[in-house]
Amino acid sequence: MTAKVEPNDVDIFMIMDDDFKVDVLSDDARILFQHDEADSVLGVSAFWLRQEAVFGSESDAIEFWQGTRTGVKRGIIELIG
């Protein structure tokens, strides 16, 4: 949540399988896994990590990333594919 009337951005946090390979993605899909490019091209703040890099449980990681700088929790939509 933000105090901005029109924040004009989307935050994406992705937990990928351990065997996930960025280099097999199409150029369009690969943009989401390059933070600066996702921001400049799509207006998206994208963050990702592999399951093996999650500290604690997946739920712990999601809860951490759900928090804002002010301690408020933002809404989360889970997509499984």
Residue 5 lies in a domain: no
Range of the domain at 26: 10-66
Question: What is the β-pairing status of strands 44-50 and 10-16?
Answer: parallel
Residue 19 lies in a domain: yes
Residue 42 lies in a domain: yes
pLDDT single digits (tens) 19-47: 999 999 999 999 999 999 999 999 888 99
- The residues, ordered by sequence, that sit 6+ positions from 17 with a Cβ below 8 Å of its Cβ are 50, 51
pLDDT of amino acid 56: 86
Which residue type, as a one-letter code, is found at position 50? R
- The residues, ordered by sequence, that sit 6+ positions from 72 with a Cβ below 8 Å of its Cβ are 1
Q: Which of 5-9, 35-39, 74-78 has the lowest mean pLDDT?
A: 5-9
Q: How many domains does the chain have?
A: 1
